[in-house]
């Protein structure tokens, strides 16, 4: 998706349901957490947003890196409280994600979850608690 505009958008749009279903099937630790009506809504919304999804990915693989480095070099930090809920991938990350986030957000609440990619669907109470805790900080 990081290549120039056109081909990625066309390829994904022409098989949007199959493309996005592969993520829904592969990234959830608990497929039952996403009942059919919710799954259908995800597929519809994703198909409608292909240009935005690809543009976001393209930016994260390109200009966002440049902007982030410039901000980091300038010593920029987030002044507000920040909560990061991250999948508990353990050693598979190969780096200390909390340390990376802490460099940007000194007031950081870093939490690990056993949920898959779809945290709100798979661990709604856990995510609700994280949001509530953030709002009172």
Q: Does 31 lie in the same domain as 62?
A: yes
Asked if residue 129 and residue 63 are part of one domain, the reply reads no
Gap between the Cα atoms of 7 and 36, Å rounded: 30
Q: Which residues pair with 74 in a beta bridge?
A: none
Please indicate, yes or no, whether residues 135 and 83 belong to a single structural domain of this protein: yes
Residues 69 and 85 in one domain: no
134 against 116, higher pLDDT = 134
pTM of the model: 0.81
Domain of residue 18 covers 1-76
100 lies in the same domain as 124? yes
| Residue 124 pLDDT class (50, 70, 90 cuts) | very high
Same domain, 37 and 85: no
pLDDT tens digits, one per residue of 75-122: 999 999 999 999 988 767 788 889 999 999 999 999 999 999 999 999
Number of domains in the chain: 2
Residues 69 and 89 occupy one common structural domain:
no
Q: What is the pLDDT of residues 38-74, one digit of tens each?
A: 999 999 999 999 999 999 999 999 999 999 999 999 9
């Amino acid at each position: 998706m990081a290549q120039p505009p056109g081909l990625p958008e066309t390829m994904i749009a022409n098989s949007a349901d199959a493309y996005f279903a592969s993520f829904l099937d592969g990234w959830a630790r608990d497929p039952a957490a996403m009942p059919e009506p919710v799954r259908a809504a995800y597929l519809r919304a994703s198909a409608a947003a292909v240009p935005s999804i690809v543009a976001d990915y393209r930016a994260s693989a390109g200009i966002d890196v440049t902007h982030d480095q410039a901000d980091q070099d300038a010593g920029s930090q987030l002044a507000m409280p920040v909560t990061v809920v991250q999948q508990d991938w353990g050693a598979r990350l190969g780096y200390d994600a909390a340390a990376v986030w802490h460099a940007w957000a000194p007031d950081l609440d870093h939490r690990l979850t056993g949920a898959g990619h779809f945290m709100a669907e798979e661990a709604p109470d856990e995510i609700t608690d994280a949001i509530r805790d953030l709002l009172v900080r």
